[in-house]
Chain A
Amino acid sequence: MAVAIILGVLGIGLLWLFIGALKGREVDRRVIFVFILVAVAAPLLVNITFKFEPTPIVQAVFDEFESLPEGSTVLFSYDFDPAMAPEVQPMANVLTRHALERGHKIIFMCLFATGEGQFNVTDREVIQPEFPDRVNGVDWVNIGYKAGNEGVLNVIVTDFKKMFPTDVNGVPYDSIKIFDKIKSCKDLDLIVSIGGGRPGIKEWVLFVGDPGNVPIATGVAAVVAPQLYPYYPKQLIGLLGGVKGAAEYESHFKKVYPKYADMATPAIFMMGPQTIAHIVIMAFIVIGNLIFFLGRRKEGEEA
């Protein structure tokens, strides 16, 4: 109900400006400010959300998770810090959920020291409440952070144990069940790096994906996404770019798995105000051009 009212108010407002534009009336910039304020504030209050269709580059990641046979091993690398978290934590959470739902086994690690804290968020928000039956060490394991950036990757591409003799809790490598058949990155079925800084996805592609011939998918902050498109689809099987990429994934995941209809979708939530604000801006661009063209035609007639 509230949603309809807000969208209605915004729509009628825009329509009114549109009609004004047809008469050649310029818009006071304070009117634009009010529209932006409403567009951003209202969805935050009443939770306006949109349905997202996944773009092929996002769909590719989803499909990879689907096509892997149950019991495949996926590595998640948390390569980000709290500053990047608003954009990429939603990706980490939904991808973890998807992997566990499909019955994949997950190895969590991070190239950022702060990544361990970010994994705890996923643990708290996804693994513990939704998959309490999954056993640490059997179905998933967190091997944590090791300093050394690409040096770490250089080692684990051939040997996990050397770099990670224990997991974060000090459990020795040999007694972690997941590692029974995983000796190096080459034994993995998929690697997912989530982040946007350095070290990050570029290092994964360069030091593990290419030499080890392991499929890699990624979720990154919006600003770095354009630099990564050239890697797709050869070196990256897919990419989630920014909040929008995360929202597309969440949206699609909910559609395919209806039992998660009530799951938290922070990216979709964030995209509510973003989408309305973008639409408002585009509407204003259209109105501006309308005024311009009508004005010019008038000038032409008068001349």
Chain B
Amino acid sequence: MRREIPLAITVFVGFLLIISVFFPPVETLGEDFSLSFDIIAVFAFFLGGGNLIRIHLKKLARRETDWMFSIVTLGGFILMLTAGLLKIGNPGDIATSVNTEGMLFESIYRSVFVPLGATMYALLAFFVASASYRAFRAKNREATILLVAAFIILMGSTPLGAMATSWMPESLSIFEIPNLAVWIMSYANLAGQRAIIIGIGLGVVSMSLRLILGVERSYLGKEG
């Protein structure tokens, strides 16, 4: 029974949602699912949040390396919870969004969360550089193509591209870097994108059917 019931649930819900598309009286089942999912996710957070607290309390209790930082994490977590759930500094009533100016929650969000997120995001500028240094090497034909395409687009993004090929005669203007960059973006790039996207579509369909038919059952383990 421990295997059969979940399996039956997956098969039933899966087929129901596939079929619901074709039958107007049940066509909103997909939306209903999304709603249920959101609610399940809230309950699941007791497990996730509980896990977060447990890990850091354990670190503290055992004085593991960097246990001081666990205090910071726990403190931040509890601070945000209190500020948000009690709506500290709320200028309105209970219906007021927690992201209203004046609330403690909102001001922590603005002065801590936002700059930290933006900074982490901006790390990409550095990693884009280090990755291209290492990865764009003409090791084989595929890597060379990757390198050349990237290089042309990079050139095309700067005034260098226009300067480098401005000597070309009018008849060869398509081979001027800025034009070449445009051409790559609108033809070759698009072709690759489409192949990938169609492939993904087929992959998803196959994955879905395997899940629904019970060919893949990660959390149920092997048969028997």
Does B108 lie at the interface of the complex (its beta carbon under 8 Å from any beta carbon of A)?
Answer: no
A279 touches B132 (CB 8 A): no
B126 touches A289 (CB 8 A): no
Interface of B (DSSP majority class): helix
Query: Across the interface, which residues of B come within 8 angstroms of A44, CB to CB?
Result: none
A27 touches B133 (CB 8 A): yes
A176 to B197 alpha-carbon distance, docked (Å): 51
Q: A226-B189, A229-B186, A289-B138 are in contact. Are A29 and B166 (CB under 8 A)?
A: no
Number of A-B contacts (CB under 8 A): 92
Does A281 lie at the interface of the complex (its beta carbon under 8 Å from any beta carbon of B)?
Answer: yes
A107 to B186 alpha-carbon distance, docked (Å): 33
Interface of A (DSSP majority class): helix
Query: Across the interface, which residues of A come within 8 angstroms of B160, CB to CB?
Result: 275, 278-279, 282
Contact of A282 among B128, B134, B155 (CB under 8 A): B155
Q: A33-B130, A36-B129 are in contact. Are A226 and B159 (CB under 8 A)?
A: no
Does A14 lie at the interface of the complex (its beta carbon under 8 Å from any beta carbon of B)?
Answer: no
Does A277 lie at the interface of the complex (its beta carbon under 8 Å from any beta carbon of B)?
Answer: yes
B162 touches A282 (CB 8 A): no
A26 to B166 alpha-carbon distance, docked (Å): 34
Contact of A288 among B126, B134, B159, B189 (CB under 8 A): B134
Residues of B within 8 A of A (CB-CB), count: 31
Does B182 lie at the interface of the complex (its beta carbon under 8 Å from any beta carbon of A)?
Answer: yes
Distance in angstroms from B189 CB to nearest chain A CB is 7
Does B125 lie at the interface of the complex (its beta carbon under 8 Å from any beta carbon of A)?
Answer: yes
The winner among B133, B151, B158 for most chain A CB atoms within 10 A is: B133
Q: A226-B185, A229-B182, A285-B147 are in contact. Are A278 and B126 (CB under 8 A)?
A: no
The winner among A35, A37, A275, A288 for most chain B CB atoms within 10 A is: A288
- What range describes how many residues of A lie at the interface? 35 or more
Residues of A158-172 contacting chain B, CB below 8 A: none
Q: A226-B182, A292-B138 are in contact. Are A278 and B130 (CB under 8 A)?
A: no
A278 touches B157 (CB 8 A): yes
Query: Across the interface, which residues of A come within 8 angstroms of B128, CB to CB?
Result: 281
Query: Across the interface, which residues of A come within 8 angstroms of B163, CB to CB?
Result: 53
Query: Across the interface, which residues of B come within 8 angstroms of A36, CB to CB?
Result: 125-126, 129
A222 to B189 alpha-carbon distance, docked (Å): 15
A51 to B154 alpha-carbon distance, docked (Å): 17
A33 touches B129 (CB 8 A): yes
Contact of A281 among B132, B166, B179 (CB under 8 A): B132
A275 to B154 alpha-carbon distance, docked (Å): 10
A288 touches B157 (CB 8 A): no
Query: Across the interface, which residues of A come within 8 angstroms of B185, CB to CB?
Result: 225-226, 229
Query: Across the interface, which residues of B come within 8 angstroms of A55, CB to CB?
Result: 162, 178-179
Query: Across the interface, which residues of A come within 8 angstroms of B137, CB to CB?
Result: 288-289, 292
Contact of B186 among A226, A244, A281 (CB under 8 A): A226
Does B136 lie at the interface of the complex (its beta carbon under 8 Å from any beta carbon of A)?
Answer: yes
Distance in angstroms from A34 CB to nearest chain B CB is 10
Query: Across the interface, which residues of A come within 8 angstroms of B62, CB to CB?
Result: none
B130 touches A32 (CB 8 A): yes
Query: Across the interface, which residues of A come within 8 angstroms of B173, CB to CB?
Result: 56
A288 touches B158 (CB 8 A): no
Query: Across the interface, which residues of A come within 8 angstroms of B222, CB to CB?
Result: none
B166 touches A53 (CB 8 A): yes
A1 to B192 alpha-carbon distance, docked (Å): 47
Does A52 lie at the interface of the complex (its beta carbon under 8 Å from any beta carbon of B)?
Answer: yes
Does A287 lie at the interface of the complex (its beta carbon under 8 Å from any beta carbon of B)?
Answer: yes
A227 to B189 alpha-carbon distance, docked (Å): 11
Does A129 lie at the interface of the complex (its beta carbon under 8 Å from any beta carbon of B)?
Answer: no
A92 to B151 alpha-carbon distance, docked (Å): 30
Query: Across the interface, which residues of B come within 8 angstroms of A40, CB to CB?
Result: 125
Does A173 lie at the interface of the complex (its beta carbon under 8 Å from any beta carbon of B)?
Answer: no
Query: Across the interface, which residues of B come within 8 angstroms of A230, CB to CB?
Result: 186
Q: Which 7 residue pairs are nearest across A and B when measured between Cβ atoms?
A: A226-B185, A284-B133, A29-B130, A292-B137, A55-B178, A229-B186, A275-B158
Q: Which residues of B contact A (CB under 8 A)?
A: 125-126, 128-130, 132-134, 136-139, 147, 150-151, 154-155, 157-160, 162-163, 166, 173, 178-179, 182, 185-186, 189
